[in-house]
Amino acid sequence: MKIRAAENGPYLIEVSEAKVLKEGKEDVISQKIIALCRCGQSSAKPFCDGTHKKCEFKGESVEIEVS
Ligand code: FES
């Protein structure tokens, strides 16, 4: 699995499928890339909703390879 912190943006996680458990509900995500909020301002936490652009979040790009 690869996790990438986009420059000035969210954590991007490449997956084939993921289960999300939130407030007792389970959702299955089959997207190839999941974007998780890193700026703390998203109204769709834990997911990124693009608000990082409005709040001008700054963060460097980092890539992590998990085996
Ligand atoms: S990183 Fe995109 S809304 Fe927080």
CATH number at residue 10: 3.40.5.90
DSSP 46: T
If you count them, how many residues does the chain have?
Answer: 67
Q: How many structural domains comprise the chain?
A: 1
Contacts of residue 43, defined as CB under 8 A and 6 or more positions apart, other chains included, come to 49, 51
What three-state secondary structure class fits 31? coil
pLDDT at 36: 96
> 17: domain range?
2-65
pLDDT at 58: 98
Q: What is the pLDDT of residues 6-62, one digit of tens each?
A: 999 999 998 888 888 988 999 888 878 999 999 999 999 999 999 999 999 999 999
Ligand 1 pocket check for 34: Cβ under 6 Å: no
pLDDT at 67: 84
Distance 27 CA to ligand 1 centre (A): 20
Ligand 1 pocket check for 52: Cβ under 6 Å: yes
Please give the model's pTM, rounded to 2 decimal places: 0.83
Distance 54 CA to ligand 1 centre (A): 9
